[in-house]
Structure 1
Amino acid sequence: MTTLNVFDTRSWIGRFAEESENQFDALTDLDRLVGDGDFGMNLRSGLRSATGRIAKDPPGDPGSVFARVSDAFLDTGGTSGPLLGLWFGQIAAVAGDHVTATQLASAVDTATVAVQRLGNAQVGHKTMVDAMVPAAESLTAAAAADAGVLDALQAAAEGARRGAESTRSMLARRGRATYVGEHARGVEDPGAAAIAMFFAAAQSKGITA
């Protein structure tokens, strides 16, 4: 697949929502160890709302799909809701019926910078940013090498997964995980895990070359 269309984007978000249901318990358990235990619920609630909004008012292009997701998260509670709402809102800036890897990479990079600015988080702070940044970097590098969207998203998924896994050894510098200190070591950040899940969902059944 060289570009991303509205049908692919809807399928992608649908699979992300399905995975949030499948991983609800795992994400909740992670957040109980490093936070207040509501991340799984907030992610699931946001994505249930997003898929409902998409079904009720079908978007006509990829950017509008991401906009529905953004609106849903902005209406979701917890710390993660506004951050994910901002992130998807910036990604929603992609224009056109067929989004290229270059367009998507630019939007994801802008979105990640916006989240870093709002949350005052950097790589190494044990937050979702630890997955967002390597995903954005990998997506940008793949796009620069003239990769199609599917290959670029595979690179982003690999980068996000590495970033999420790296949080296990970190001492938290931002968020509620800072309250538990050393007890957070060895635990993957649930926000970073969710970002990895999002990009991995693009590689699942449904999007084809």
Structure 2
Amino acid sequence: MNASDARAWMERFFAAFDREQQALTDLDRRSGDGDFGANVRFALGRARAALDAAETATPGDVFDVVSAAFLNTGGTSGPLFGMWFRHLAKATRAGTVGVAELARGFADATATVQRLGGARPGDKTMVDALVPAGEALAAASGDLREALAAAAAAARSGAESTAELVARRGRASYVGEVARGVLDPGAVTVALLVEAACG
């Protein structure tokens, strides 16, 4: 993966989120305060504009731009996604990166999100998709396409698993059983992100 590949990944993610924004907002209305879709849309709009104006020599440069856009966004998810991308950027500073660098970046980034947010798998948060995606990357062979496909499948499975969980972190934890049966929008967004890496 080079800088051009990373840009294409982000563009596919932006488009996927645009398609799913209303559904994600509806999920957040049922389990949180309903601002998730608007906050992430704002961050991705800033990221699009910044990438258009930026020169990026490495995948890490691309992820730095996206990180900054999220860090300047309100809500809880914006800063967490921002820190996640920041740590992914640190592991992907070379002109071309492979499975090992991405796996290390995912692991470091997800550990940071867990440290900041205090969430673990099973808490009905974005972590439920991030952790299995990172584990799939870490277990993958050297073929990047196959590794990303495995990570995407793991992220989607993790996101789907949040439907039957009772939240222990985030806004959904305030409503308890009311949110049972509702997918966590943060986890679904992670699934969209990792799926977009597959092209």
Instruction: After superposition, give the CA deviation of every residue in 1:139-185 in whole Å (9 maximum; x if it has no partner).
Output: 1101xx32x22211111101100000000000000011011110110
1:16-52 Cα deviation digits (max 9, x unpaired):
0111111110000000001110111111111111111
Query: Shift in Å at residue 203 of structure 1?
Result: 1.9
- 2:147 matched to which residue of 1? 152
Preserved CA contact (<8 Å) 2:30 2:182: yes
2:60 to 49, 63, 77: 63
Aligned with residue 83 of structure 2, among 81, 86, 103: 86
CA distance in structure 1 between the partners assigned to 2:183 and 2:19 by the alignment: 17
Which residue of the other structure, out of 22, 42, 59, is the alignment partner of 2:39? 42
Query: Counterpart of 1:25?
Result: 22
Give the alignment's TM-score, normalised by structure 2: 0.98
Q: How do 1:59-208 residues align onto structure 2 when only pairs under 5 Å count?
A: 59-93=56-90, 94-142=92-140, 145-146=141-142, 148-204=143-199
Residue 49 of structure 2 is aligned with which of 47, 52, 55?
Answer: 52
Using the TM superposition, give the Cα deviation of residue 58 of structure 1 relative to its aligned residue in structure 2, in angstroms. Answer: 2.5
Any idea what SS the aligned residue of 1:59 has?
Answer: coil
Gaps of 5+ in 1: 205-209
Write the distance in 2 (CA, Å) between the matches of 1:37 and 1:59. 34
Displacement of 1:97 in angstroms is 0.6
Cα distance in structure 2, aligned partners of 1:105 and 1:45:
28
Aligned residues: 198
* Distance in 1 between residues matched to 2:93 and 2:62, nearest whole Å: 11
State the 4+ residue runs in structure 1 displaced beyond 2 angstroms: none
CA distance in 1, matches of 2:59, 2:173: 37
Structure 2 residue ranges without an equivalent (≥5): none
Q: Distance in 2 between matches of 1:78 and 1:121?
A: 16
What is the RMSD computed on CA atoms of the aligned residues?
A: 0.8
CA distance in 2, matches of 1:97, 1:125: 36
**2:126·2:190 contact (CA, 8 Å) conserved in 1?**
yes
